[in-house]
Homo-oligomer: A and B are copies of this chain.
Amino acid sequence: MAVKIKDVAQRAGVSVTSVSRVLNGEKYVSEDILQRVQKAIEELQYSPSHIARSLKRQKTDLIGVIVPDLTSNFYSTILSSIEETATYYGYNLLVCNIAEDLEKELKYLNIFREMRVDGIIIMHEKSSPELLSFIQNSGIPILYSSVKSPDPDFVSVIIDDYQAAFQTVEYLVSLGHSRIAYIGGDMRDITSGQYRYEGFRAGLLRHGITPNEAWIRFGDYKIPSGREQMSELLQLSEWPTVVFAASDDMAVGALNCMLDQGLDVPKEMSLIGFDGSIIAEVVRPALTSMQQPIREMGKVSLETLHEMIMRPGKAVRKDLILSHQLVERESCLPLSTNKTN
C-alpha cells in the first residue's frame, strides 16, 4: 500500500496537482495528461487514500448507524434499506449494535464523533442525560429512525404510533372483540412505545371498554419476551379473546406460547402484531399486523440525513410521519358469537 499520489505523478511525469485533478474528474486537464495519469494509476495499482482525502476535505462520507439489535427482523430490514440508499448517495456505513446498552451507545457516539462521520442515524429509543447532551452538542447531523427522538428538536422518521395503535384497536373492535390484551414494549422512556400504548388505551376508551390492567403487559420487543408475557397471561383465570402485541417479534413469541399450549390460533384466541416485518408472513398462522413502511423508512431516513448534511443551515421538519397500514393475514378472526370463553 506504499504507492501514493506522488509516485503516480512521477511515473506519469506530471505534478501531483494534475493527478489529483484526474482523480477528481476535474476539467482543465489535457487529454495527454489524462491518458498518462490513467496509465500510471493502472500500472501502479494506485488506490487513493480516503483517509488523507477526508482530512483535507473535512468530510468522510461516513454515516454512523446505531441499531438496538441486528438480529431483529425489523431493524435489519431498515438497516438493509439504509445501506442500499447510502450506497446510492456515496456514503459508507459504520454500524454499531448496542444491544440495549446505553453506555455502549454513548461510547460509540463518541467514536463516531472522533471518526468525524458526516451524520448519525439512531434507531434506539432509550435515552439518558449524557446521551441527550451529546446529541445536542455534537454538532453532527443526527436523525432518529423508526423511533421518536428523545429531544423534540431533533428529526425523527416515524409513523404515527398513537394513531396506528388506536386504529388497531378499532379494527379489533370492529371484529367484535372487547376482551383485548396488550403486550407492549418497554415503558421506561417517553418514545414510540409510549405513543403506541397511549393509542391502545385511547382506542379502548373510545369504545367504552375499560382496560383490564392484568391484560396489559410489557416486554422488550423481542421474541422471548412475547412468549414470557403470553405465558403469564395464560395463567390468569380470565382470558382475553385477542392479544395485541406491539411488535411482530413479540407476537411471534406469544404465538408460539399459545400454539405450544395447544391453543388454536386464531379460532380460540386471535393475535395481532405490529411492524409488518418479514417474520409476520413466515409464521403459521401468518400474522395480521399493523404494518410500518419499513424499507421506505430507511430510505427516507438516509435521504433526509443527506439533506441535513448538504444544507447545514436549512431547517428540516422535525417529525417525518410515514403512513402505516393494517395488513390482514390469518391470525385475527371475528369474535364468533357462540364462543364460550
Contact = CB atoms under 8 A, between A and B. Distances in A.
Interface of A: 1, 45, 47-52, 54-55, 60, 69-71, 73, 76-77, 79-80, 83-84, 87, 92-97, 99, 104, 110-111, 113-116, 137, 139-140, 223, 252, 256, 259-260, 278-279, 282-284
Given A73-B71, A93-B94, A115 B83 contact: no
- Complex A-B, nearest 3 residue pairs according to Cβ-Cβ distance, in ascending order: A50-B114, A70-B80, A83-B97
Contacts of A92: 94, 96, 111, 115
Contacts of A49: 55, 114, 116
A278 B282 CA distance: 13
Contacts of A259: 284
A136 B55 CA distance: 29
A71 B96 CA distance: 16
B71 A80 contact: yes
Contact of A114 (B47, B104, B110): B47
A50 B116 contact: yes
B284 A256 contact: yes
A40 B87 CA distance: 39
A51 B113 CA distance: 11
Contact of A284 (B70, B71, B139, B283): B283
B94 A94 contact: yes
Identical chains bound together, number: 2
Contact of A83 (B1, B70, B73): B70
A48 B51 CA distance: 15
A95 B83 contact: yes
A49 B137 CA distance: 17
Contact of A84 (B97, B116, B278): B97
29 contacts: A1-B139, A45-B137, A47-B110, A47-B114, A48-B114, A49-B55, A50-B114, A51-B54, A51-B55, A52-B55, A55-B55, A70-B77, A70-B79, A71-B76, A71-B77, A80-B97, A84-B97, A87-B96, A87-B104, A92-B94, A92-B96, A92-B111, A92-B115, A93-B94, A93-B95, A252-B282, A260-B284, A279-B279, A284-B284
Interface of A: prevailing SS: helix
A115 B71 CA distance: 27
Contact of A256 (B1, B50, B282): B282
A84 B99 CA distance: 9
Chain B CB within 10 Å — which of A77, A87, A113, A259 has the most? Answer: A87
B113 A223 contact: no
Contacts of A252: 282
B1 A116 contact: yes
A83 B49 CA distance: 25
A282 B84 CA distance: 28
A69 B52 CA distance: 31
Nearest to A96: B83
A39 to B, nearest CB: 18
Nearest to A52: B55
A1 B73 CA distance: 36
A111 B62 CA distance: 12
A223 B73 CA distance: 13
